[in-house]
Amino acid sequence: MAPRGILFSDVDGSIVHYPATTDKLGRLEGSSADGRGHTFVTNEGDSHTVLKLPPSKTGMQGVISLRTLELFAEVRRMGFRVVVISGARTSTVLQRLPFLPFADAVVTENGGRIFMGDPHQLTTAPLVEDMGWREVHREGAGPGSQEGVSPEERVGPLWEVYRAFKADAWKPDADSYTTSFRVKVTPGRPAHTAAELASRLEELPETLTHAFNLGMADVYPKSSGKEKAAAYIMSKWGVDNEDCALLCDDDNDLALARMLGKAYLPGVSAETMKKATEGDPDHFFVAPNHGTVGTEQALLKFIEHVSAGSCHMPCVLQ
């Protein structure tokens, strides 16, 4: 039976928050009384439980609130499926699974890889990669069998561009990426300016595209992208765009946010997203607070909207 709809959720900046945001909103204290994590005390004196995630490959360590996990569980009880959809490298997302909301599917590398829930639940993390989707990116990223091959030796336009960046002394990051790589401006290198990076990205081969995430450029096949991965999942589950929503914050979420029934933001991390929210406030709900509280407000607003009726998302969300 098809689900009532799908709530897609980005991770970093949307449900997981980092010290650059949380340090302005309060402080972490010791273990929480419920034994589930740590106590976060806001500047206003309110306290709630948060879970500290393992540090990423780049050393970033974020938190997610226990209330966020409870609200996602409520969304699933209401008949919606949950899809975690991230631009992060696959190893980082898989390492975080014990701390993320229970999801019916998990998407990594900006849509490059899709892991569907395993109905047989044969493993500790019951997910199975959709290899049919992986094969869709062969023209841009080469065959999926290259996962164990060094990026310097992989075939495909994506890896040719990776090697070109590296040859010019940029530092492209392909660690645990197989359908994309990440590159950013390197401080102290005069030739490695934001303008130079933008120029190089404009010259990508026809089979590739890019998006910015956390201030870094992700390069990946045109067959990929969060919006294409989401469309694939919606088709697989028989769900219409208007019956879906997205929890998001950044530039690499924008295309998907526009194609769904509504978008919910606990904060805005990119100028492109800021312009979009200001231009269409009926489509984009921006929470009044930031950090984990903002995430909870966004989820509560979603639940409020879909509880208002049983028609398609545009009708419910008026």
Name which residue leads in pLDDT, 139 or 56: 139
Q: Are residues 124 and 244 in the same domain?
A: yes
Q: Are residues 215 and 96 in the same domain?
A: no
Name which residue leads in pLDDT, 10 or 57: 10
Looking at residue 23, what is its pLDDT? 93
Q: Are residues 175 and 206 in the same domain?
A: yes
Q: What is the CATH number of the domain that holds 248?
A: 3.40.50.1000
- Contact by Cβ (8 Å): 14, 5: no
Checking if the pLDDT of 270 tops 90, the result is no
- Contact by Cβ (8 Å): 299, 71: yes
pTM score = 0.92
Phi/psi of residue 158, nearest 5 degrees: -60, -45
Checking if the pLDDT of 263 tops 70, the result is yes
Name which residue leads in pLDDT, 126 or 55: 126
Integer-rounded Cα Rg, in Å, for the chain is 19
Last residue of some domain: 202, 221, 240?
221
Dist CA 47 CA 44 (whole Å): 9
Last residue of some domain: 221, 256, 288?
221
Q: Are residues 128 and 149 in the same domain?
A: no
Checking if the pLDDT of 20 tops 50, the result is yes
Percent of the chain with pLDDT over 90: 83
Checking if the pLDDT of 189 tops 90, the result is no
Q: Are residues 108 and 229 in the same domain?
A: yes
The predicted model gives 182-197 an average pLDDT of: 82
Phi/psi of residue 83, nearest 5 degrees: -125, 120
The pLDDT tens digits of the residues spanning 32-67 come to 988 999 999 999 999 999 999 998 777 789 999 999
The predicted model gives 216-238 an average pLDDT of: 96
Residue 315: pLDDT band (50, 70, 90) is very low
Phi/psi of residue 127, nearest 5 degrees: -130, 145
Instruction: Show Cβ contacts of residue 142 under 8 Å, excluding neighbours closer than 6 positions.
Output: 154, 155, 156, 158, 159
Encoded tokens for 240: 């219409």
Last residue of some domain: 221, 237, 264?
221
The predicted model gives 2-28 an average pLDDT of: 94
Dist CA 224 CA 228 (whole Å): 6
Q: Are residues 142 and 81 in the same domain?
A: no
Average pLDDT, the chain: 92
Q: What is the count of structural domains for the chain?
A: 2
The pLDDT tens digits of the residues spanning 148-176 come to 999 999 999 999 999 999 999 999 999 99
Q: Which amino acid is at 296?
A: E
Dist CA 178 CA 109 (whole Å): 8
Checking if the pLDDT of 317 tops 50, the result is no
Looking at residue 186, what is its pLDDT? 75
The DSSP bridge pattern shows strands 262-265 and 244-247 to be: parallel
Checking if the pLDDT of 301 tops 90, the result is yes
Dist CA 38 CA 43 (whole Å): 16
- Its domain, for residue 31, covers 5-135+225-316
Looking at residue 185, what is its pLDDT? 86
Looking at residue 309, what is its pLDDT? 60
Among residues 93, 109, 104, 9, the alpha carbon closest in space to that of 54 is found at 93
Encoded tokens for 310: 């049983």
Instruction: Show Cβ contacts of residue 70 under 8 Å, excluding neighbours closer than 6 positions.
Output: none
Q: Are residues 143 and 113 in the same domain?
A: no
Sign of CA dihedral 298, 304, 310, 311: negative
The pLDDT tens digits of the residues spanning 61-85 come to 999 999 999 999 999 999 999 999 9
The predicted model gives 268-284 an average pLDDT of: 93
